[in-house]
C-alpha cells in the first residue's frame, strides 16, 4: 500500500490529460497517490466517494464542483486543495476556510501567458502593425519604405490598469523596453508603486496621457463598465485599448461608437457578451482586433499549470506550506 497521501482529481475529466501530460503526471505521483482515471466531476458519484473519504488532497481544475459543507463532510481527512487553474471563486466556499483547509492556486502560472500576449500586443500596437496589415489586405499594395510619423515604441506611455498578478507581470515584462509604463489601482499606494518601478496615477490622468491602455483589473461590482463613454473620451486620438481581463469591464456600446469614428483602436481578447453574437460590429470595424479568449493558458502552456500543482504537492510532502496559498481576504476583489 502506498505511503503517499491520498489525492483525488476534481475537475472536468477531459482536462486531466491536458493539464497533466505524462511527464507532469509522473512528477505529481511522486508526491501523492492519485489515479488519473478517477476524476470527480460530481461528488455524489458512487465511484469517487470511497476515495473522497480517504483523500487528504484534492487536485482541482476547471469544472470542479463546489466544495460545500456536504462535500467536506464526506472528506474528513482533507487538508489541502491544489487548484490547477486561476481563480477558485467558482467552487471554493467559506467552509474551506472555516475548517482550516489549505487552498493553493496556479494563478501565478496562468498569469504568464496573459502577460506575454499583452506584451506582444503592446509592441505590435505601438508599431501600428495590426492596422497596417488590414490596410495592405484591403489595398493589395505596399506604399514602400518611408518614415511613418506617430508610430513606434520609443518613449510611448503605456497605462496599466490594475496591479493584479497579470498587471504586475506585464510591468515586469515591459522593463527591458524603452516604453514608459504607468499604473492606476485604488488598492496600491505610492510606496508599492515605487517598488513596482512605475508612477501611480489617477485613472483619468492615465487615460488622458497614455497612447496604449491595458486593462488588468478584476471583475467586481465596482469595476463593472469601469471603461465607459466618459473614460473612452479621455483617451487621446490614436490611442489603443487592450482588454485581457473581463469583457464586462468595458462598455462595448460606447467602445463601438468610438471605434466607428476611427479615433481609437481596441485589442480585445475578452468581450461582453462572450462569445460575441454573429452580428457584432466588432468583427468588422477596422479599429477592432478581436481574439477568442486565448491569452490565458492554451495548448502546451496547460502543462505549466499542472507543474505548479506538482510543485505544491512536493512542498506539502516535505511539511512545508503552499507557496501560492489563496489570500482569502483579497479573494472578493479578485477575478
> Sign of dihedral through CA atoms 136, 126, 240, 299?
positive
> Exposure pattern of 234-273 as b/e (b: 16+ CB <10 Å)?
bbeeebbbbbbbbbbbbbbebbbbbbeeebbbbbbbbbbe
3-state helix, strand, coil in the chain (%, to 5): 40, 15, 45
Cα dihedral 84/87/90/94 (nearest 10): 100
Is there a contact between 271 and 295 (Cβ–Cβ < 8 Å)? no
List 35, 69, 98, 274, catalytic entry:
274
Q: Are 53 and 75 in contact (CB under 8 A)?
A: yes
Buried b (16+ CB within 10 A) or exposed e, 149-164: eebebeebbbbbbbbb
Known catalytic membership, residue 246: yes
Q: Is 293 a catalytic residue?
A: yes
Which alpha helices (DSSP H) does the chain contain, by range? 16-19, 22-28, 46-54, 69-73, 94-98, 107-126, 129-139, 165-174, 190-196, 203-209, 229-234, 252-261, 302-317, 328-331
Query: Annotated catalytic residue: which of 54, 79, 263, 293?
Result: 293
Q: Is residue 94 among the annotated active site residues?
A: no
DSSP 64: P
ω into residue 196 within 30 of 0, thus cis? Answer: no
Q: Give 131-186 as a 3 state SS string.
A: HHHHHHHHHCCCCCCCCCCCCCCCCCEEEEECCCHHHHHHHHHHCCCCCEEEEECC
Catalytic residue among 29, 246, 252, 304: 246
Which residues are catalytic, by number? 246, 274, 293
Amino acid at each position: 500500500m502506498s505511503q503517499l497521501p491520498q489525492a483525488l482529481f476534481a475537475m472536468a475529466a477531459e482536462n486531466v490529460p491536458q493539464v497533466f501530460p505524462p511527464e507532469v503526471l509522473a512528477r505529481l505521483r511522486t508526491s501523492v497517490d492519485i489515479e488519473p482515471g478517477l476524476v470527480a466531476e460530481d461528488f455524489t458519484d458512487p465511484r469517487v466517494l470511497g476515495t473522497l473519504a480517504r483523500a487528504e488532497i484534492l487536485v482541482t481544475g476547471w469544472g470542479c464542483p463546489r466544495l460545500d459543507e456536504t462535500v467536506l463532510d464526506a472528506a474528513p481527512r482533507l487538508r489541502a486543495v491544489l487548484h490547477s487553474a486561476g481563480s477558485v471563486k467558482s467552487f471554493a466556499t467559506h467552509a474551506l476556510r472555516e475548517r482550516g483547509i489549505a487552498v493553493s492556486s496556479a494563478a501565478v502560472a496562468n498569469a504568464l501567458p496573459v502577460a506575454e500576449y499583452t506584451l506582444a500586443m503592446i509592441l505590435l500596437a505601438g508599431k501600428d502593425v495590426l492596422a497596417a496589415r488590414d490596410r495592405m489586405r484591403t489595398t493589395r499594395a505596399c506604399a514602400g519604405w518611408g518614415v511613418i510619423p506617430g508610430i513606434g515604441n520609443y518613449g510611448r506611455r503605456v497605462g496599466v490598469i490594475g496591479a493584479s498578478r497579470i498587471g504586475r507581470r506585464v510591468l515586469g515584462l515591459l522593463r527591458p523596453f524603452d516604453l514608459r509604463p504607468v499604473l492606476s489601482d485604488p488598492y496600491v499606494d505610492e510606496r508599492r508603486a515605487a517598488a513596482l518601478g512605475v508612477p501611480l496615477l489617477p485613472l483619468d490622468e492615465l487615460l488622458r496621457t497614455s497612447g496604449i491602455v491595458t486593462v488588468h483589473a478584476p471583475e467586481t461590482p465596482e469595476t463593472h463598465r469601469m471603461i465607459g463613454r466618459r473614460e473612452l473620451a479621455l483617451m487621446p486620438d490614436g490611442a489603443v485599448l487592450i482588454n485581457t481581463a473581463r469583457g464586462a469591464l468595458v462598455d462595448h456600446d460606447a467602445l463601438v461608437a468610438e471605434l466607428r469614428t476611427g479615433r481609437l483602436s481596441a485589442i480585445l481578447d475578452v468581450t461582453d457578451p462572450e462569445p460575441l453574437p454573429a452580428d457584432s460590429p466588432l468583427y468588422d470595424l477596422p479599429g477592432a482586433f478581436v481574439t477568442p479568449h486565448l491569452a490565458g493558458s492554451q495548448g502546451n502552456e496547460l502543462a505549466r499549470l499542472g507543474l505548479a500543482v506538482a510543485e505544491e504537492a512536493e512542498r506539502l510532502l516535505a511539511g512545508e506550506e503552499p507557496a501560492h496559498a489563496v489570500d482569502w481576504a483579497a479573494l472578493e476583489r479578485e477575478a
